[in-house]
Amino acid sequence: MTDKQIITTPISNEDISNLKIGDVIYLTGMLATCRDDGHRRVVESNRFPDFDLKGMSILHAGPIVKTIPGAGYEMISIGPTTSRRMEAYESEFIEKTGVKIVIGKGGMGAKTAAACKAFNALHCVFPGGCAVTAATEVEEIVGLEWADFGMPEAFWIMRVKNFGPLIVSIDTKGHNLFELNKIEFEKKKELALKNLLPHVHYSHG
């Protein structure tokens, strides 16, 4: 790919307001991991990480990190986790933190789409499972917070370069790629079943 569309943190509203669902972007700058426990802590307990998320991006991910004695941490493997698990909390999380890009895998629901529209944010997907590629796009782990959650759930702060491909799944207008796909999938499922069912009537006769 020749003309990679690169978004750099801190992210302004203008940087992302023209992006549409299905667009492919790459991220350069600061990215923090935050998943189930981190979302619960922010939303339910109103506790925030020291690292200010305003204009930044988060990744729904639980990485494998190696501790290098005396030299910090090395990112071994990091890939997105299922975003749908965070659906109940994400809209409030976006509102409270001012985060601009939420990255994960699979789609998110109507509540998150509404928050993306209201607060000018994006949900993007990184190709699930491509965790070594992602790790090689992490330049450095610059911080660790909430280590009490354990390795996968902790809040790892990373500097990344050309992190992607990221496919925009919810844009700042609130359009939702996965929801639209789902409608198509449902239609095709009904058709497929209609064709299939007459052929699987196995019985004693």
Partner 1 sequence: MPHKKLESIISSLLEVTAIKLPTDVYASLQKMRAEETQTLACELYSCIFDNLDKAELLHRPLCQDTGVLQFFIRAGAHFPHLDILEESIFTATKLATESVPLRHNTVECFTEKNTGNNTGKLSPWIEWEIIPGDDLHIDVYMAGGGCSLPGRSKVLMPLEGYEGVAKFVFDTIVDWGVNACPPLVVGVGIGTCAATAAILSKKALLRKVGSVNANPQAADMERMIKEGLDSIGIGPLGLTGTKSVQCVNIEFAGHHPATLAVGVTVGCWATRRGSIDISADLASYAITSHS
Site residues, ligand SF4 (CB under 6 A): 79, 128-129
- Residue 39 appears among annotated catalytic residues: yes
Question: Which residues have a Cβ under 8 Å from the Cβ of 102 and sit 6 or more positions away?
Answer: 57, 58, 60, 83, 90, 94, 108, 112, 121, 122, 123, 124
Q: Is residue 52 involved in binding partner 1 (CB under 8 A)?
A: no
As beta bridge partners, residue 167 has: 24, 125
Query: Which span sits near partner 1 by CB under 8 A: 5-13, 47-55, 124-132, 138-146?
Result: 124-132
Residue in 59, 103, 125, 141 binding partner 1, rule: CB under 8 A: 125
Residue in 105, 122, 155, 157 binding partner 1, rule: CB under 8 A: 105
Cβ 51 vs Cβ 32: under 8 Å: yes
Residue in 61, 99, 121, 170 binding partner 1, rule: CB under 8 A: 61
Closest CA to 99 of 56, 59, 60, 61: 56
The amino acid that residue 162 corresponds to is N
Look at residue 22 and give the partner it binds from ligand SF4, partner 1, none, a contact being a CB closer than 5 to 8 Å depending on partner kind: partner 1
Q: Which residues are identified as catalytic?
A: 39
